[in-house]
Amino acid sequence: MYYDVLVGAHLADGDGVSATDRGRSYLYLGGISLPDNIGDATFTGSVDDGRAGYSLYRW
């Protein structure tokens, strides 16, 4: 059970270098990535020094 989960990420600061996971972060609710290894939320960025956030409240 989780309450008031908040996560943020500093996105796409790859200095113009192309990479698959550049500026990408993943949120796994419950703290595990098994069995499917697919994040519950994915943050991606396309602007250098961009930012994103995600907030969740479960009762």
Indicate the pTM of the whole model.
Answer: 0.45
Domain boundaries, the chain: 5-56
pLDDT digits (tens, 9 = 90+) for 7-58: 655 555 555 565 555 667 777 776 666 677 777 777 776 666 666 666 666 6
pLDDT at 41: 77
Q: Which residues contact 25 (CB under 8 A, 6 or more apart)?
A: 7, 9, 11, 42, 43
